[in-house]
Structure 1
């Protein structure tokens, strides 16, 4: 090997190493940004106009277990709305996280003679979406989470 070949080989190794470092660094920075991003505690709720336990069909919602994982749709073939003590309704709910500016949604279909109502709450109290369906019809709530108040 001559000196030019050695220089080219060394330059290739250095360039490849720098490219790998840059890619790894970008992924690391992206992970840090995700784990430190503002996130809301989101509650999805579907309630019915009956006080008896009520099966809900095709319950679908967007879920994000932690800030570092991607949002994924979850579909339950059936979920049971349980009677609530405070109201004459039955209710099903689940909690998740959502980054600010993220789409959140929940939908469900009640039995034929039952009306369902859905809500999306931030931090358990701030309602950002609410809808009521017709008897036996799918109800869907969708929203985009707002930025935090600064």
Structure 2
């Protein structure tokens, strides 16, 4: 009886792996987006995030108006692109950074006054 259950269980595990369920590992990165600049006018910001680390679907883009300095902590699935873009309302010069685990700088950029700034980084697998 026990041998039969082991064989049935092993067959189920093999089936699950063949279907592809095992590919959804939940491997993801904790990312912090930061936008800084001069002035206090609202800045138009859009950023990419994965609301569910177990879903391999395309990440979603969120747009907000934020005061500077601005930051957001998000999750990005492995192998996908982290991205933040900020557009000033006036002639401010903006900078952005993408941080891994709130510490290590993955990407940074500074735009000319009045121009949008974008930081991107494809996460490791």
| TM-score, structure 1 as length reference | 0.64
2:54 paired with 1:54? no
Query: Quick check: 2:49–2:74 contact (8 Å CA) kept in 1?
Result: yes
Following the alignment from structure 1 to structure 2, what is the Cα–Cα distance between the partners of residues 93 and 140? 14
Q: Indicate yes or no: 2:77 matched with 1:99.
A: yes
- Cα displacement (A) at 1:26: 2.4
Contact kept? 1:48, 1:54, Cα under 8 Å: no
Gaps of 5+ in 1: 1-21, 82-90
- Structure 1 segment 73-84 matched on structure 2, within 5 A: 73-76=61-64, 78-81=65-68
Q: Which residue of 2 aligns with 1:42?
A: 31
What residue is the counterpart of 1:145 in the other structure?
A: 123
Describe the SS at the equivalent of 1:114.
Answer: coil
Superposition deviation, residue 95 in structure 1: 1.1
Query: 1: distance between equivalents of 2:84 and 2:93?
Result: 16
User: What is the aligned counterpart of 1:33 among 23, 32, 45?
Assistant: 23
Q: How far apart are the structure 2 equivalents of 1:111 and 1:48? A: 12
SS in 2 for 1:54: coil
Quick check: 1:115 aligned with 2:103? Answer: no
Question: 2:23 and 2:91 mapped to 1: Cα distance?
Answer: 47
SS at match of 2:42: strand
Tell me, which stretches of 5 or more residues in structure 2 are unaligned? 1-14
Q: How far did residue 61 of structure 1 move?
A: 0.9
Whether the 8 Å contact between 2:94 and 2:117 is mirrored in structure 1 is yes
Q: Which structure 1 residue ranges, 4+ long, deviate > 6 Å from structure 2?
A: none
* CA distance in structure 2 between the partners assigned to 1:41 and 1:80 by the alignment: 23
Q: TM-score, normalised to structure 2's length?
A: 0.75
CA distance in 2, matches of 1:145, 1:127: 13
How far apart in 2 are the matches of 1:41 and 1:54? 28
